[in-house]
Amino acid sequence: MTGSATKTPYPPAPPDDADIADERSSVRPRVEAPGAPASDGVTRRASVDALIRRAKVLLADLPSGDRRSNLLKLAITRRDEVLLDRLLSLESSAISSPPPHGD
C-alpha cells in the first residue's frame, strides 16, 4: 500500500509576461466629476444664510408653542436648506392667501 498511489503532477509553468499582459488588471484613470465650480458653493452658502435670516424673522413672530417654531428651530440648527425653503414658502403662501371661512 505504500508508494502505489499516483501523485498529482505539478501545474505547467506560467506563461511569459508578454502572454498575460492582456489579463492584468489596471487602475482606471480618475475622471473628474462634472460638478459645479467652486463659486457655486459660495452662492449656495449665501442662499442658506439668507433663508436662515428669513426663518429667524418668522420665528420671532411665531408663538413659542407653535409647531412651526419647533420645525424652524430644527431647520436653522441643521442648516437644512430644503426644510427652510419649504417652511418659508408655506408661510408666505399662508400669508398671501385669504383665511378660510368657517361657515
What is each CA distance from 86 to 13, 37, 71, 83, 96, in whole angstroms? 68, 26, 11, 5, 15
Q: What stretches of 31-80 show up as alpha helix (H) in DSSP?
A: 38-61, 67-78
C-beta of residue 91 within 8 angstroms of C-beta of residue 58? yes
Give the pLDDT confidence score for residue 39 in this predicted structure: 64
Query: Does pTM surpass 0.85?
Result: no
Query: What φ, ψ does residue 35 adopt, rounded to 5°?
Result: -135, -175
Give the pLDDT confidence score for residue 66 in this predicted structure: 85
The band of 51, judged by pLDDT with boundaries at 50, 70 and 90, is very high
The whole-angstrom separation of Cα 86 and Cα 23 is: 54
- 83 alpha carbon, distance to own chain's centre: 15
Q: What is the mean pLDDT of residues 49-59?
A: 94
- 92 alpha carbon, distance to own chain's centre: 27
